[in-house]
Structure 1
Amino acid sequence: MVYERIKQQMMDTLPLVRTLGIRIDDIGNGTSKVSMPDDPKLHNHLGTPHAGALFTLAETASGAAMAGGFADLILGLRPVAKESRIQYHKVAHGATRAEGRVPGDLAALKAELKQQGKVAFPVEVDIFDAVGTLAAQVQVDWYLSEKRS
């Protein structure tokens, strides 16, 4: 399936994601589920997941959701994360997971891409800890353009 191919391509081309032990668990049509193990090498001074590791988890989830939403076109596109914002709500404990989603109308975004050759849109991500506490929320603004020959 195309989503499995996207997962494999992302894991093959994102060495930091592999280094952190992040796993892309699921990609759907504009959605994703991504997880990161609890590893002391990824902890901060409090013994909890480091903010940088959590951010990378969220950015990975955003990219997977974006790619899933444009699965039929992604090989011909150049995706760039343009801007990101993160709000920390609670200290995360243990393994973490992130759920990403493209909140907009995918058909309208694809129509804009077809018409203008580029499109920009946000992807929202929720980060949960091992017991399901909402630890942070992230928005990554993606910019997609057609690859130049």
Structure 2
Amino acid sequence: MSADLSFVADAMKQSVPWVRTTGVEFVEVAADRVVAELPDREDLRNHVGGPHAAVMFGVAETASGAVVMAAFSAELGRATPLVARSEIAYKKLALGVLRAEAVLGRAAADVVAELDAGTRPEFPVHVTITNAEGVTTGEVTVVWTLRPNR
């Protein structure tokens, strides 16, 4: 039986003002995968007509945060998810609507086991950014940690 993750999109929009400001929408939400889309808006573009590099990173990091929330919602009372580090590769000029597909890079049960053992686990979320035609325009890895609450 799968968990009801319908709360994730609303929670992201309520807790992260950038999500509301830019108009990020969550197309798919699962415990190990999230797809987010960012509309093509002139005020988010760069000097060559595509989305600004920061905007590309932003939608990828947002999708990664949503998958973390979905995967570890049961742990949020005892641990706070934080970004530890990230890396982005810009592959091609992005034009039009952006789609960011974030995939959890480790089994959630393994991460929770580390948390249960008293360590501060780290885990990657891999994100592929594509344009409206499905062409990969960027690849991002965001490494998250669950910091135990004190």
Give the TM-score normalised by structure 1: 0.93
**Who is 1:42 aligned against?**
44
**Who is 1:66 aligned against?**
68
**Who is 1:16 aligned against?**
18
Identity %: 34
Q: What is the Cα deviation at residue 117 of structure 1?
A: 4.8
1:130 to 117, 129, 132: 132
2:92 to 83, 90, 93: 90
**Who is 1:80 aligned against?**
82
1:139 to 128, 135, 141: 141
Q: Distance in 1 between matches of 2:50 and 2:68?
A: 28
**1:39-86: CA deviation from partner (whole Å, max 9, x where unpaired):** 111100001111111110000011111121112223432111111100
Give the TM-score normalised by structure 2: 0.92
Q: What is the Cα deviation at residue 4 of structure 1?
A: 1.7
**1:3-36: CA deviation from partner (whole Å, max 9, x where unpaired):** 1222211110111121111112222112111000
**Who is 1:57 aligned against?**
59
Aligned residue pairs, count? 148
RMSD of the TM alignment (CA)? 1.4
Would the aligned equivalents of 1:31 and 1:99 in 2 still touch at CA under 8 Å? yes
Runs of 4+ in structure 1 over 4 Å off: none
**Who is 2:35 aligned against?**
33
Q: Distance in 2 between matches of 1:64 and 1:24?
A: 9
Counterpart amino acid of residue 136 in structure 2? L
